[in-house]
Amino acid sequence: MNFELLFGEFLLLIATIDPIGTLSIFVGVTGKSPKEDRPRIALKATLIGGAVLLAFLVLGQFILGALDIRLESFQLAGGLILFLLGLQMVFGVGPAVEAPKAEAGHDVAVFPLALPSIASPGSILAVVILTDNHRFTMLEQAVTAVVLVVVLGLTYVLMLAANPIHRLIGDTGGMIIVKVMGLLLCALATENCVEAVQQLWS
């Protein structure tokens, strides 16, 4: 696996997991929680979201095989969805930029932090596409898993430092970062769609 491919995977996972977006949601849903509880909430959310993503990383393609869905078809559909998510991030509309609300009586570490913020539909699609058994060796898939863990670790660290970071970048800074990530996500999604179409027609 070359550095360019590795960096591309890192950008795709950063764009779909969206640590900055998770940071904003974390600040909102833990605003009334005691300070000593916030590290526990951040850790629990990261572990649950990471477990879901790693499960799809390992089992996602087997599930597709059981349903007789070609990975190229899934990649094309996933690319289109990721492109739409990227557009929502760029233009600031839709579910991709609207923070889900915590429900009364529910653990905020599970919802909305672990699901659907960290383990979002976009990040689930991304990990399945990035671990295609026909294109990547077991070693390359293991490297992808390591990249995923790194992004999850970054997300966790940002949640631990949520309040100072949010005060530093402000709402405007967060919005700019989200729009840049959306643009990168659109470009990566386009590449996925083009590659899928080429595979389907070959």
28 has a pLDDT exceeding 60: yes
| Amino acid type, 146 | V
Instruction: Please indicate, yes or no, if residue 28 is contained in any of the structural domains.
Output: no
Instruction: Please indicate, yes or no, if residue 104 is contained in any of the structural domains.
Output: yes
Helix residue ranges, H only, the chain: 3-17, 19-29, 38-66, 71-91, 121-129, 138-160, 162-201
Instruction: Please indicate, yes or no, if residue 107 is contained in any of the structural domains.
Output: yes
- At residue 186, the pLDDT reads 83
Domain encompassing residue 156: 3-15+36-201
Q: Which residues of 44-78 are buried (b: 16+ CB within 10 A; e: fewer)?
A: bbbebbbebbbebbeebbeebeeeeeebbebbbeb
If one counts the domains in the chain, the total is 1
Residue-averaged pLDDT of the chain: 83
Q: What is the distance between the alpha carbons of residues 47 and 77, in angstroms, rounded to a whole number?
A: 28
Instruction: Please indicate, yes or no, if residue 22 is contained in any of the structural domains.
Output: no
Instruction: Please indicate, yes or no, if residue 155 is contained in any of the structural domains.
Output: yes
| pLDDT tens digits along 118-167 | 998 778 888 988 888 777 888 989 999 999 999 999 999 999 998 788 78
Instruction: Please indicate, yes or no, if residue 128 is contained in any of the structural domains.
Output: yes
Q: How confident is the model at residue 100 (pLDDT cuts 50, 70, 90)?
A: low
Instruction: Tell me the whole-structure pTM to 2 decimals.
Output: 0.75
